[in-house]
Amino acid sequence: MSNKPYRVPTAGTGGTVGRVIDRSQMIDFQWNGRKYAGYEGDTLASALFANGIRVVGRSFKYHRPRGVLGFGSNEPNALVGVGSGNRQEPNLRATQVELHAGLTASAQNAWPSVEFDVGQVNSLASRLFPSGFYYKTFMWPQSFWKSVYEPIIRRAAGLGVAPEGPDPDTYEQFNCHCDVLVVGGGAAGLAAAEAASANGARVIIADENPQFGGISDIAGGTIGGEAQSKWIAATAASLAKSGNVHVMNRTTVVGHYHHNYVMMFERVAEHDPNLLSSGAPRHRLWKVRAKQVIIASGAIERPIPFANNDRPGVMLSTSVRAHLARYGVTPGYRGVVFTNNDDAYRTATDLLAAGVPVGRIIDVRAEPSGPLIEAAKSAGIEISAGSAICGLNAKSGGKHITSVKMAPYSTSGRVSGAEEEIACDFVAVSGGWNPVVHLHCHNGGKLDFDQKLQSFVPKPHADPVVTIGAANGTFGLGDLMTEAYAAGDKAGKAATGSKAAKAAAPKAASETEGNLEAIWFAPATGKYNEGNKHFIDYQNDVTAADLELAQREGYESVEHTKRYTTLGMATDQGKTSNIIGLGVLSGSTGKPIPEIGTTTFRPPYTPFSFGSIAGTQVGKLFHVVRRTALFDWHAEAGATWEPIGDWRRAYCYPKGEEDKHAAINREILTVRNKVGLLDASTLGKIEIKGPDAGALLDRVYTNKFSTLKPGRGRYGLMMNEMGFLFDDGVTVCLGENHYLMHTTSGGAERIVEWLEEWLQTEWTDMKVFVTAVTEQWSQYGVAGPKARALLEKLEGDVDFGADALSFMGMTEGTLAGTRVRVFRISFSGELSYEIAVPSHNGRAFWEKLLEAGEEFGVEPYGTEALHVLRAEKGFIAIGDETDGTVTPLDLGLNWAVSKKKADYLGKRALDLPHLAAENRKELVGLLTEDPNEVLPDGAYAVSEVSEKLPMDMIGQVTSTYWSPTLNRSIAMALVKQGRAKMGQKITFPVADGKVVRAEIVDPVFYDKEGERQNV
Amino acid sequence: MLVITCPVCGVEGEEADFHCGGEGHIARPATENPDGISDDAQRDYMFMRKNPKGVHFERWRCDRGCGKWFHACRDTVSMQIFGYYGITQRPPAALLKKADPLWQAHFEAAKKPSAKKAKS
Amino acid sequence: MSEALIITPLYDREAPGGLAIIMTEVVDLGMIDLRGLPKDKKFMDAAKAALGIALPTAPRTSAGMGDIVCLWMSPDQWLITCPRKAVGGLLAKLNASLEGIFSLAVDMSDARTIIRLEGDRVRETLMKGSSIDFTQSGYEAGTVRRMLFGEIAAMVHVVSEKPDVFHLMVFRSYAHHAWDWIEATAMKGSEVEFLSSAEAPPVV
């Protein structure tokens, strides 16, 4: 089938046709795998028209052939996939895709091809797809869900194709502040920006199109006595040059949030492969804080639904006019204009002037009059007033319009009487204008119904946001310019405090236009359900009949009707359909539109790329990774990693063919029998100093610290005010009123903030300073029977003698040429030290430890060995034995919970009935009946195993490991009244019907007397 | 996303640069007198909050800036912020007047003779 | 005391070609974190005696020229930078001078690293990772600002203007993340020239 081109020759139009294309620059592109050519400046939509292609997609539900309806971002039909492979991007609007060399694009939702689509049988079976189809159909039986319904829905749902691999392009975000943000670069936006800028304000003006000017090129009217477009070009240029106005094209303001937080989506290089390859990001997401926001987002034309109004070739009137004026294309050779207002007459006269015949202007109004009507008449265009389209004939499976049927229209909404058939191959339709109130509404802006416009306009906003121009329902150019200048000046002054004289608005005027007549739907004559569909929401295939059905079925609230019918829920968010839908509902319920109300407008205004949302945070920047000074050493040693918070810690160090389990067992036995090294640098370290430092510690720890002598340390527990344990660690006394607190790795930041919070907000009289020093020091555990021998080999002034540095002692000195802090503390139960060195020496010192320990068989050990070692000793770990609901008493740590201290955090809560209750879960050890069986982590113990669920759960496993030291499995668990159940066996139903039995024992499995650490 | 101004260091920043510490002016009973706190009083301290719809007094911290805590007066519906004051201070009279009656009752109950004087 | 080799967190990183700004790690500066009460005259005097300059008390400012610079961090906290070699001596001097005065001074030379950024597009590069608008007034030379940058805690010190030189300070463990972030956002071709005079946009 050959497609005839629809490019209008320039000759004889006086340059009014095809203004933005460069006919000397041919560009090759691909559509559905075939090569075509267009011009520089074309959109994909206009280039397809130029090549005679009108069918650009298939509809979502019925798979009907669809063509372009609108222009710019309001297009509901022409969603296309652009690019290929890992650059494939689905669901772009063909009316926004700019043609560039090498562009490849294809139609969506069509199989095997857009010309012949198997899914079109849906259309024949359309009576099976009423509103609420999914709710009505996929209800029962439940067993059908997984096997039958879900696969069907999955195959049918979703638009477009996802890219095949990681996106090769870059994206980024940019944050900035401005005094005045102007949304929209039409006449109103530019005027407001100019007036704001005259006050010295920092202004951003953003327009989503490649060109500024809105619809100034096709709207008629004059500014300063000349064509609008002249003033537009001069003003845009002077603002760009000014240095205090950031002028952005291809930038859609997608969302407005609290306190004038505005999100803008800039298509930086999408349209230009050269820009992309020179390092520009494909898209950039702007996060703007504006003191004042001026919304000049214009208005969107709405169609008038009539029978089969979705046929390719039915277009919005302004879309026809804009395509002609900008790209010199038309959707066909002979048009008909269907309208309820004066503006569409401009389309008719423009078409005729460009040599495209207009078969008729069909106007629903009984007596249209005014200069635009006169102009059309004098151009010789036939006008049928008081009429409406009542049918449409097409051939080639609906892809080619041949004529429309017209009949008299009465204000009651009926179309009846003598029918007339008018030959045409396209229809330009206009049903009035809907101000773009989306941004105004994103953040709670309310609306008023404007009777004259038959649409909603913004009410004053609580934030410093104002809407002007067509978006505010102001259409006459003179009024619009006055309003825009005043708003710009006011915003500029409010943001800057400027007292500059107000810039004078240039004189502007446009033709007088008569009122429109409300019409929401021109029904087909005869039985309009018979094969005739009146589409309201093109993208989701919602018809007038669907809305009426929903209303008959009792869906009264517009929010419910929306969800039931999916009206306005497609990617275009109902830009062309919402108000019409309300109008149809108004007709069928008899309620006026304002009583029906609108649905919620949510960001984004138009869809934007995931790439821009991710911005820089992809690949290695996807998530923050914190490195200790030994990060590279661990990597070189072949460590496997464990993420702890944002840290990467070495989990274990497999050697050769060793698997993780073998490596962990070897590391544990090395510590038990020889000596091991641990990178413990991630432990939180906080210096605490001041006259009340000891008193502060007494209040945040459950035990007493103010009695600690310099050079000594103590293990402490921290509770929150609910009595729950949330951190632990050893705090040492460095000197008088000077302490160093160790926290868990995960608690490092939290605890310093915790201390600050209490000091600043509650104990404001306390004289204490706290400073986090975590990263200043790299800290290494040296643990095992040979630890002392190893350290004594290093040159320095530290005495490691058992008496000089006894258990829980600390000292400072020099070791291997480095300033060190030495702590004799143990989390493994072995003779153990932790050595802190300034981090710049971390790696060098670690390597000296390894060197010195070589003769003792020293090896590094990772976090898993650390955990097994502590579990063998029954030491708790925050986050394993605690989960935010566990008290120190639950864990049997009564020895560390002071009864004498008058007050410390959480103390009072421990006496509350629910915490003092007898049936609390208590920490116990577990030995499985089968010593080779390692309980799953988190396994639940039940009082009785039964078929019937739920079983009575009496506890859960908190730590569970294979202990190479004991050559059997060990576990710890929190069990209801566990300490009273010593020696009893409890059962754990685990996966696949298996039951594991274990004996409740003391949680200290190894060296109960603690002799090994005290040598 | 709110814009918040730290009254301590003067930084005006995004909500993400701050940390909301929930309702302000919750007295910790144990600080004054650790003995004789009833279970009910302890429960109220731990869990009971005013949670008004409207003007509210909250604690915020200049999380990514100077690290100091302060009070903010915020409308929980419109998100408007009416003012800030020190972490150890009571709300200024003008802000208290805007606030939910729950708050006026709170300070009425806690009013001390010195506070009375300051009110004029 | 002989100190071993100094390994800064970014010792093995070099800025790639094609950056729109100059980026280097500062390796020869040390840092001391000092806390004290500005209303405590004894503290302020003792600090001045040790440092040779008065601690700045205006928020987000810095004081000092030459070797010792004091950066305001909080009403009761300052970060003092000085040559790395001089940290030990200066800290000892401070501690001696502050003896008996409510205060806390700690060596933080290894806790953070400083990334030096230079060029006309430094401000806009930082604006890709932080919600702060550095093109606004209030970010003149000497200004200090703590912030969230690229999801991490950071601090900037505007060292000089024309050309802009900024010190970006981040905790040691985040150094690679910050460096990677700047590499990713400072590439030539991706510059944003915010509010600069520009060519006229196309119009319809």
Q: Is residue A705 part of a domain?
A: yes
Do A948 and A862 lie in one domain? The reply is: no
Please give the Cα distance from A653 to A667 (Å, whole number).
Answer: 8
In which residue are the tokens 């820089």 written?
A: A616
A435 within 8 A of A398, measured Cβ to Cβ = no
Contacts of C196 in chain A (CB under 8 A): 243
* A940 shares contact with chain B (CB less than 8 Å): no
Question: Is residue B51 classed as helix, strand or coil in its secondary structure?
Answer: coil
* A222 shares contact with chain C (CB less than 8 Å): no
Give kind and range of the element (H or E) at residue A406: strand A400-408
Please give the Cα distance from C5 to A688 (Å, whole number).
Answer: 29
Task: Give CA A821 to chain center in angstroms.
Answer: 47
Residue A2: the pLDDT is: 40
pLDDT bin (cut points 50, 70, 90) of residue B116 is very low
Mean pLDDT of A809-820: 96
Contacts of C180 in chain A (CB under 8 A): 620-621
pLDDT bin (cut points 50, 70, 90) of residue B32 is confident
* Contacts of C among chains (3+ CB pairs under 8 A): A, B
What would the DSSP string read from start to end of A13-53?
A: STT-SSTT-EEEEEEEEEETTEEEEEEET-BHHHHHHHTT-
Considering only alpha carbons, which residue of chain C is nearest residue B12?
C132
Give kind and range of the element (H or E) at residue A205: strand A203-206
C113 within 8 A of C13, measured Cβ to Cβ = no
Please give the Cα distance from A794 to A800 (Å, whole number).
Answer: 11
Whether residue A214 and residue C176 make contact (CB cut-off 8 A), yes or no, is no
Provide the 8-state DSSP code for A414: -
pLDDT bin (cut points 50, 70, 90) of residue A122 is low
Please give the Cα distance from A823 to A840 (Å, whole number).
Answer: 20
A768 within 8 A of A696, measured Cβ to Cβ = yes
Using one digit for the tens of pLDDT, what is the confidence trace for C16-56? 999 999 999 999 999 999 999 999 999 999 999 999 999 99
Helix crossing, A187-197 with A477-496: angle to 10°?
30
Using one digit for the tens of pLDDT, what is the confidence trace for A827-865? 999 999 999 999 999 999 999 999 999 999 999 999 999
Considering only alpha carbons, which residue of chain C is nearest residue B16?
C148
Residue A112: the pLDDT is: 55
Closest CA to C15 of C143, C199, C129, C178: C178
Whether residue B9 and residue C75 make contact (CB cut-off 8 A), yes or no, is yes
pLDDT over 80 (residue A394): yes
Do A97 and A188 lie in one domain? The reply is: no
pLDDT over 80 (residue A281): yes
Closest CA to A628 of A686, A688, A687, A678: A678
Mean pLDDT of A83-105: 93
Question: Is residue A147 classed as helix, strand or coil in its secondary structure?
Answer: helix
* C101 shares contact with chain A (CB less than 8 Å): no
Q: Is residue A363 part of a domain?
A: no
Contacts of A98 (CB under 8 A, 6+ apart): A42, A43, A44, A210, A270, A271
In which residue are the tokens 């971390």 written?
A: A842
Structural domain containing residue A81: 22-124
Contacts of A569 (CB under 8 A, 6+ apart): A540, A562, A563
Beta bridge partners of C112: C171
What single letter denotes the amino acid at residue A401?
I
Q: Is residue A723 part of a domain?
A: yes
Q: Report the CATH number at residue A936.
A: 2.40.30.110
pLDDT bin (cut points 50, 70, 90) of residue B120 is very low
Q: What percent of chain A has pLDDT over 90?
A: 81
Taken in order A664, A669, A672, A678, the sign of the CA dihedral is negative
Q: What percent of chain C has pLDDT over 90?
A: 95
Residue B19: the pLDDT is: 96
Do A986 and A907 lie in one domain? The reply is: no
Q: Which has the higher per-residue pLDDT, A813 or A949?
A: A813
Mean pLDDT of A930-936: 97
Contacts of B10 in chain C (CB under 8 A): 59-60
Do A714 and A843 lie in one domain? The reply is: yes
Do A678 and A823 lie in one domain? The reply is: yes
pLDDT over 90 (residue A897): yes
Residue A413: the pLDDT is: 78
pLDDT bin (cut points 50, 70, 90) of residue A523 is confident
* A244 shares contact with chain C (CB less than 8 Å): yes
Do A87 and A140 lie in one domain? The reply is: no
Residue B114: the pLDDT is: 44
Do A207 and A247 lie in one domain? The reply is: yes
Work out the minimum CA distance from C53 to partner chain A, whole angstroms. Answer: 22
When divided into structural domains, chain A yields a total of 5
Among B2, B31, B39, select the one facing A258 at the smallest CB separation: B2
Average pLDDT, chain A: 93
For chain C, the straight-line distance linking the first and the last C-alpha, in angstroms and rounded, comes to 74
Do A39 and A147 lie in one domain? The reply is: no
| Other beta carbons less than 10 A from residue A890's beta carbon | 20
* Radius of gyration for chain B, computed over Cα atoms and rounded to the nearest angstrom: 15
- Chain C interface residues (partner B, CB cutoff 8 A): 59-60, 73-75, 77, 131-132, 145-148, 153
Please give the Cα distance from A60 to A543 (Å, whole number).
Answer: 13
Question: Is residue A404 classed as helix, strand or coil in its secondary structure?
Answer: strand
Please give the Cα distance from A287 to C198 (Å, whole number).
Answer: 21
Select from A903, A904, A915 the residue whose CB has the most chain B CBs within 10 Å, as the one to mutate to test that interface: A903
Residue A312: the pLDDT is: 95
A834 within 8 A of A680, measured Cβ to Cβ = yes
CATH superfamily of this structure's domain C22-185: Probable tRNA modification gtpase trme; domain 1 (3.30.1360.120)
* B2 shares contact with chain C (CB less than 8 Å): no
Using one digit for the tens of pLDDT, what is the confidence trace for B43-82? 999 999 999 999 999 999 999 999 999 999 999 998 999 9
Mean pLDDT of A8-12: 73
CATH top-level class of B3-119: alpha beta
- What is the interface pTM, i.e. ipTM, of the complex? 0.96
Give kind and range of the element (H or E) at residue A542: strand A542-543
pLDDT over 60 (residue A147): yes
Least confident stretch, A174-183, A224-233, A587-596: A587-596
User: So where are chain C's domains?
Assistant: 22-185
* C57 shares contact with chain A (CB less than 8 Å): no
What would the DSSP string read from start to end of A545-570?
A: HHHHHHHHTT--SHHHHHHHH-TT-S
Closest CA to A543 of A46, A127, A119, A10: A127
Sequence-separated contacts (24+) of C82-86 with Cβ below 8 Å: C82/C29, C82/C30, C82/C32, C83/C28, C83/C29, C83/C30, C84/C6, C84/C27, C84/C28, C84/C29, C84/C30, C84/C109, C85/C28, C85/C30, C86/C30
* A230 shares contact with chain C (CB less than 8 Å): no
pLDDT bin (cut points 50, 70, 90) of residue A14 is low
Residue A597: the pLDDT is: 84
pLDDT over 50 (residue A494): yes
* C137 shares contact with chain A (CB less than 8 Å): no
User: Distances in Å between the alpha carbon of A852 and those of A175, A636, A856, A857, A861?
Assistant: 52, 20, 8, 10, 16
A772 within 8 A of A748, measured Cβ to Cβ = yes
Q: What percent of chain A has pLDDT over 70?
A: 94
Q: Is residue A969 part of a domain?
A: yes
Please give the Cα distance from A319 to A321 (Å, whole number).
Answer: 5
Among C35, C198, C204, select the one facing A211 at the smallest CB separation: C204
What would the two tokens of residue A751 be? 């605890």
